[in-house]
Each structure stands twice: as C-alpha cells, then as structure tokens.
Amino acid sequence: MSSDPIKLDDNGIPVLEHAISLDEFNSAAPDLTDQELINHLLEDDAVQRILDDITEDLQKMVAWKIETMLKEKVSKLIHDATEQSAPRLAQDIRTQLHLALPGLIAKLAERSRQA
C-alpha cells in the first residue's frame, strides 16, 4: 500500500486538494450519539492501546501525587514531633551527661595517673 506524497506549496505548507463542503462533511460524519457505534469504536485495538497508555500515565501521575502528598505530611509530622520533643530530649541528654560525667572523669583521671 503506497500513499501519494503530500503536496506542499513553496513555503512547505500542505496543499488541500480535495476539499469538501461543510454539508458533505456533516453528512459523512458518524453519529457519535449512537451508543453501539461508540462501543464498537472503543473496542478497536488502536483505541484500546491508547486507553492502556492513558491509564498507565494517569496511574503513574496519581501514584506520584499521593507519594508527594504523603512525603510532605510525614515530613511535617516528623518535624513537628521533633520540635515538640526537643525540650524533653535536651533535658534527658543533660540528665544522662550529668549521671555519666563523674564516672568518665574518674576513669580519665585514673588512666592519666597510670600513663
């Protein structure tokens, strides 16, 4: 099956050779209000491939959007939780240092005597 090459004008614009009137176009156009015709068109393999591609693209976009929203929410929750616990964490660290420092200082002093 070979098709005739598209004729172009001097500027490279395709030339319309076999124009039809609007009445001819409207009479030749399928009735897209006919459910049977629409269902038949939707069953076409090419249309199914397009629908598969659109479905895959939409699924990826929705998954990306959900992931983005969840990351933002989780990040905010973690930030808020660490901000709220910061004073308590600082107090706990200070308490642990206060409890551990006398023993650490004693060990350092003993090691320096032995050296």
CA–CA distance, 3 with 52 (Å, rounded to integer): 29
This prediction has a pTM of 0.47
pLDDT exceeds 90 at position 20: no
Of 26, 9, 6, nearest in space to 18 by CA: 6
pLDDT exceeds 80 at position 29: no
pLDDT exceeds 60 at position 34: yes
Residue 3, pLDDT score:
65
> Per-residue pLDDT averaged across 36-62, rounded?
94
Residue 107, pLDDT score:
93
Residue 1, pLDDT score:
47
> Per-residue pLDDT averaged across 70-91, rounded?
95
- φ, ψ at 64 (rounded to 5°): -60, -45
> Per-residue pLDDT averaged across 18-27, rounded?
80
Residue 102, pLDDT score:
93
> Per-residue pLDDT averaged across 33-42, rounded?
90
Decide: residue 21, CB within 10 A, 0-12 exposed, 13-18 middle, 19+ buried: exposed
